[in-house]
Amino acid sequence: MTRRNSRAVAVIAGTGVAEHFRAGKSEEIRTEFGSAFVRRLGRGSFLMPRHGPGHGVPPHMVNYRANISALRSLGITSVIATGAVGSMSPRLGVGEFGLLGQFIDFTRRREGTFFDEGLAHTDVTEPYDRGLNRLLRSAAKEAGVKVREGLVYVCTDGPRFETAAEVRMFRRMGGEVVGMTGVPEVVLANELGMKYSSVVVATNWAAGIQGGVSHEGVTRAMKKAGPVMREVVEITIKRVKEAGRG
Ligand code: HPA
């Protein structure tokens, strides 16, 4: 059984990252939105494989409400999300790491809120937590990794990659990286008052910048980045606990 912890931190691990952590066995957490799965990392820290225990749930089918609701029920107050992105900006080369600063939501058919009744308008002017970003930045420095900060993330539904024209449009709008899983996860965490930051790695140039995008290429790049991602996240978790920021 998992006990409630008032200063707990969770990492939501995307493709190619979860398997690099040493964690306990998978535990099912039942929520009013459905089941979610976590593994214990240490005292007051948990790993949630975003795509489920078997990594098989595609981005548009992830039960984001169940995932965030489950973390809340465990008393998690800080969430570190990891993700793979396509880069649309010379600010972030392939294989490089970044922290998100803003998002632009191009998803269309996801359950994106906990507030289906009543009037609740969450302020997401700054959706990613500054304090957590600061800890991630210094963890990256400690791990010897350069991170680009304040990236503008565009979220699509997937599971297909983008067209070249979509990428051109996203760039004109100010988008710098594109992915399929960051929204509504960040929104739901904000709705529940949890601190949330996202560390990403560019696995490829987005569609049309240097030709096409392949799933195999993305997976390969992510596998390569996984150990460094784990190191950055583990240092950050330690610092979160030390700071008692929870
Ligand atoms: N597009 C969307 N999602 C992604 C990409 C991309 O190019 N690369 C990794 N995740």
User: CA end-to-end span of the chain, whole Å?
Assistant: 21
Closest alpha carbon to 147 in 198, 182, 207, 185: 198
| pLDDT tens-digit map of 147-192 | 999 999 999 999 999 999 999 999 999 999 999 999 999 999 999 9
Best residue for ligand 1 mutational test, from 62, 97, 107, 180 (most atoms within 8 Å of Cβ): 180
Q: Among 161, 166, 167, which residue has the most ligand 1 atoms within 8 Å of its CB, making it the best to mutate?
A: 161
pTM: 0.95
Give residue-wise pLDDT tens across range 102-116. Answer: 999 999 989 999 999
Does the beta carbon of 92 sit less than 6 angstroms from any atom of ligand 1?
no
What pLDDT was estimated at residue 27? 95
| CB distance 166 to ligand 1 below 6 Å | no
Q: Is 181 in the pocket of ligand 1 (CB under 6 A)?
A: no
For 206, which DSSP code?
P
Predicted confidence at residue 118, as pLDDT, reads 87
DSSP one-letter code for 126: S
* Structural domains present in the chain: 9-245 (3.40.50.1580)
- The number of the ligand 1 atom at minimal distance from the alpha carbon of 179 is 3
* Ligand 1 near 87 CB (within 6 A): no
Q: DSSP readout, 91-106? A: TS-TT-EEEEEEEEEE
pLDDT of 245 reads 46
- Ligand 1 contact via 225 beta carbon (within 6 Å): no
Query: Average pLDDT of the chain?
Result: 94
Ligand 1 centroid to Cα of residue 185, in Å, is 16
Q: What mean pLDDT is predicted for residues 116-142?
A: 96
pLDDT band at 7 (very low <50, low <70, confident <90, very high): low
Q: What is the pLDDT of residue 15?
A: 76
